[in-house]
């Protein structure tokens, strides 16, 4: 599976870079910070992106020191940073990154109810009732059950690619978006 920047995100980044390169000797530090933010947020889709922003980050940090942390201060873009910006201009539209999901080694099942939680790994199972202080909304209980399941089987799953099966869509959503 591959990831690419959307046309809109690529265009936004290219527009910011083009504007910065038009005044490399007098640009607001805030604008460089904005560009760096867009670059960093694009790293998942721009495979070699992390190699082409360090000089710019260094220039920004140096300028911030000189301006005593004032992002409204101005700075110069070094030649090395210009090269990095030009790399982005020439590569952002064609860059991509691959997502490789390794095969699952083990599957852990967890479940919760208002009374307690349970978990299984192969033929092994575990679980317990909730203490009065642990009683909460079912979504929280499902998340805690998943956590307790992983902790319970930690020695068996250490260093392995684990798939956890949960029957609560809110808990699944939260875990998938951590």
Compute CA 170 distance to the chain's CA centroid, rounded to the nearest angstrom: 20
Phi, psi dihedrals of residue 103, rounded to the nearest 5°: -65, 150
Number of domains composing the chain = 2
pLDDT > 70: percent of the chain: 100
d(CA 7, CA 29): 26
**Boundary of a domain, candidates 98, 133, 161:** 98
- Same domain assignment for residues 80 and 129: no
Residues 83 and 141 in one domain: no
Domain boundary among 63, 98, 133: 98
| pLDDT tens profile 122-152 | 999 999 999 999 989 999 999 999 999 999 9
Distances (CA, A) of 151 to 1, 26, 122, 158, 171: 31, 54, 16, 10, 17
Contact of 143 with 175, CB cutoff 8 Å: yes
Q: Are residues 21 and 74 in the same domain?
A: yes
**Domain coverage including residue 124:** 106-177
Same domain? 75 vs 130: no
**Are 7 and 83 contained in the same domain?**
yes
Q: What is the pLDDT of residues 153-167, one digit of tens each?
A: 999 999 999 999 999
- Shared-domain flag, residues 90 and 126: no
- 159 and 118 within one domain: yes
Does residue 117 sit in the same domain as residue 41?
no
List, for residues 91-130, the tens digit of each pLDDT value: 999 999 988 888 999 999 999 999 999 999 999 999 999 9
């Amino acid at each position: 599976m591959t990831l690419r920047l959307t046309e809109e995100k690529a265009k936004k980044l290219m527009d910011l870079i083009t504007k910065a390169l038009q005044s490399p000797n007098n640009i607001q530090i805030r604008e460089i910070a904005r560009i760096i933010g867009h670059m960093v947020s694009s790293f998942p889709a721009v495979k070699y992106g992390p190699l082409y922003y360090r000089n710019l980050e260094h220039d920004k940090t140096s300028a911030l020191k000189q301006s005593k942390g004032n992002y409204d201060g101005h700075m110069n873009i070094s030649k090395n940073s210009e090269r990095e910006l030009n790399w982005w201009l020439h590569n952002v539209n064609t860059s991509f990154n691959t997502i490789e999901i390794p095969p699952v080694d083990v599957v852990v099942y967890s479940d919760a109810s208002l009374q307690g939680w349970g978990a299984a790994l192969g033929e092994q199972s575990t679980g317990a009732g909730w203490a009065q202080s642990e009683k909460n909304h079912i979504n929280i209980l499902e998340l805690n059950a998943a956590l307790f399941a992983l902790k319970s089987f930690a020695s068996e799953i250490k260093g392995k690619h684990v798939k956890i099966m949960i029957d609560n869509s809110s808990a699944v959503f939260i875990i998938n978006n951590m």
